[in-house]
C-alpha cells in the first residue's frame, strides 16, 4: 500500500517570498513541527542534485533521512526524494499566486513503505496529513507576521 497525502493553504504573502522561504532547507525547523535540525551534504543554495539531511521526530521516533532535490523551478515547484532514510518518500512543494496577491502553497508527500512499515501505511497517512496541516499553518503564521530568516 502506498501513502499519498496532499495538503494546501493560502498564505497572504507574495509567491516569491513564500517559495523562497519554504524552499530553503535552513528554514525547515522554523515551520516544520517535527524537524529538529538540518545539515547540508552538498553546498547551498538549493538546486537539482542538492542533498540535505534532516533529523525529525515523528510518531514518537527519531528519524534521520536525506533528501535529494530532483526538480526545482524557483517560485513554482520543488520536488525532493529521500536518498537515504527509513521510509522512501517524495515531497513536492508547489506555489501558485492568488488573485489577491497571496500564495496557494501545496505540500504533497508520497511513498511506498516496505517491510513492517507497510502495515502502518493507513495510520501513517493520517498522521502525515495532520502534521502537514500543522506545518502549513505554522508557515502561514510565520510569514504573515513578517518573519524571515535565511530566505533565498
For residue 99, name the pLDDT band (cuts at 50, 70, 90): very high
61 part of a folded domain? yes
152 part of a folded domain? no
Given a cut of 50, whether residue 69 has pLDDT beyond it is yes
Give the integer Cα–Cα distance in Å for 16 and 3.
Answer: 30
151 part of a folded domain? no
DSSP 55: E
Res 24: pLDDT: 97
Res 14: pLDDT: 98
76 part of a folded domain? yes
133 part of a folded domain? yes
Query: Mean pLDDT throughout 46-67?
Result: 88
User: Out of 22-31, 103-112, 117-126, which region has the weakest mean confidence (pLDDT)?
Assistant: 117-126
149 part of a folded domain? no
Res 117: pLDDT: 56
29 part of a folded domain? yes
Query: Mean pLDDT throughout 17-34?
Result: 96
24-30 contact pairs (CB < 8 A, 24+): 24/150, 24/151, 24/152, 25/52, 25/54, 26/149, 26/150, 27/149, 27/150, 27/151, 28/54, 30/142, 30/147, 30/149
Give the integer Cα–Cα distance in Å for 68 and 138.
Answer: 24
Give me the CATH number covering residue 102: 3.30.530.20
In which domain, by residue range, is 93 found?
A: 3-144
| Region of residue 60 (phi > 0: left; psi between -120 and 50: alpha; otherwise: beta) | left
Q: What global pTM score does this model have?
A: 0.88
Q: Give the DSSP letter string of 61-90.
A: EEEEEEEEEEEEETTTEEEEEEEESSS-EE
Res 87: pLDDT: 73
Query: Mean pLDDT throughout 7-18?
Result: 98
78 part of a folded domain? yes
Structural domain total, the chain: 1
Given a cut of 50, whether residue 78 has pLDDT beyond it is yes
Give the integer Cα–Cα distance in Å for 83 and 144.
Answer: 33
Amino acid at each position: 500500500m502506498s501513502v499519498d497525502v496532499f495538503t494546501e493553504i493560502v498564505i497572504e504573502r507574495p509567491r516569491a517570498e513564500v517559495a523562497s522561504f519554504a524552499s530553503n532547507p535552513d528554514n525547515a525547523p522554523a515551520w516544520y513541527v517535527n524537524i529538529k535540525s538540518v545539515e547540508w551534504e552538498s553546498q547551498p543554495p538549493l538546486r537539482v542534485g542538492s542533498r540535505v539531511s534532516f533529523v525529525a521526530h515523528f510518531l514518537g521516533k527519531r528519524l534521520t533521512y536525506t533528501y535529494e532535490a530532483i526538480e526545482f523551478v524557483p517560485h513554482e515547484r520543488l520536488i525532493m526524494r529521500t536518498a537515504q532514510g527509513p521510509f522512501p518518500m517524495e515531497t513536492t512543494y508547489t506555489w501558485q499566486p492568488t488573485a489577491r496577491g497571496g500564495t496557494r502553497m501545496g505540500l504533497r508527500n508520497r511513498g511506498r513503505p516496505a517491510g513492517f512499515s507497510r502495515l502502518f501505511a493507513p495510520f501513517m497517512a493520517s498522521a502525515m496529513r495532520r502534521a502537514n496541516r500543522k506545518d502549513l499553518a505554522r508557515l502561514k503564521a510565520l510569514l504573515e507576521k513578517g518573519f524571515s530568516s535565511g530566505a533565498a
